[in-house]
Amino acid sequence: MQSTRSAFVLLVVTGLTLCGVGCNSGGGPTALEQVGTYPPPSSAIGSKPRIAITTLAADDDPAASMSRATLGETAADQFAELLTKTRRFNVVKRDEFASLLSQQALGDMVRPGMVTRRAAVSGVDYILVGSITNLSITKTAESTGWWDTVKDTVTRAPDKSQVKITANCGVEFKLVDPATGDWQVPSASEFYKEAGANDFGIDVSASANATQAGASIPVTREDRERIIRLALDDAIRKNLTKIDRFLASRPEAKMKPAEMVTQTPTPHSAPNPMQHSTSVVPTQPSPAPAAAKVVCPNCGAENDPSATFCRRCGSKLR
């Protein structure tokens, strides 16, 4: 009987050695490694609009203080970083946007999660407004199974217990034209995941060793920030197609390079009063009538005749 157990342990040890204990069985990058890595934008989107980031609406946690950013501010800064990595926008960060508004006497124009009044903002095409909703995190210590016991024996790992995390976080956002109040790319997504702490990138080694199996572990401010970052990345991925469709429908994306260059008028020489000209000055042709606007069947917004998708809601016009 003893020899059978020894052979079994030897078999397990050999398997762990061949696999390389702790190796990624998927053979590819983990979900954490993919955060902030997005497909390249299409050449059809044209020039990148300047998008300003403002504080997101979010319930603050007890750890927030005068010396530390609120969760809404932290979420806005993380959103700015991730949107920059999409290579689809020129991002005006939260503090830079606040400075722009102050310089243009528009400091009361935005609040967390909303634009309070319409006004053209120099240097900004759109304002991103949004909110963090339904943020819920639980951390529970679990008992160590026989496989983890053998693995710990082989690797001499110090942590003898696992921590299961259940996280939920909603992300809502849209792009608002500050001059007109029209909004684009409305999104409401929900991030939910139940997995081990390592899958979230959360370090629980200190608390796990002193916690009995089945007990709850306190959720920290860092845990909330980590989950919000994962939820923001998830929201961006779910809306990349909608974002690209909107960017490709903008008039700037359809302009040819030659049309975007301002032509400098050629100066004319002053007429010579001593010289009499009998030439006839040609009459200017009447301007062609403007083409009728295309009305979106979904939201009723007026769009340029050449538009394929609605500038307000992104619905297909034809």
Higher pLDDT residue, 270 or 225? 225
Q: Provide the pLDDT for residue 299.
A: 74
Rounded mean pLDDT, 46-69: 80
Reported residue count of the chain is 318
Percentage of the chain surpassing pLDDT 70? 67
Summarised one tens digit per residue, pLDDT across range 77-108 is 999 999 999 999 999 999 999 999 999 999 99
Summarised one tens digit per residue, pLDDT across range 171-201 is 999 999 999 999 999 999 999 999 998 889 8
Q: Provide the pLDDT for residue 56.
A: 97
Higher pLDDT residue, 156 or 40? 40
Q: Provide the pLDDT for residue 25.
A: 37
Summarised one tens digit per residue, pLDDT across range 238-292 is 999 999 999 999 987 766 555 545 444 444 444 454 444 444 445 555 555 556 7
Higher pLDDT residue, 233 or 313? 233
pLDDT higher than 50, residue 301: yes
Radius of gyration for the chain, computed over Cα atoms and rounded to the nearest angstrom? 29
pLDDT higher than 80, residue 164: yes
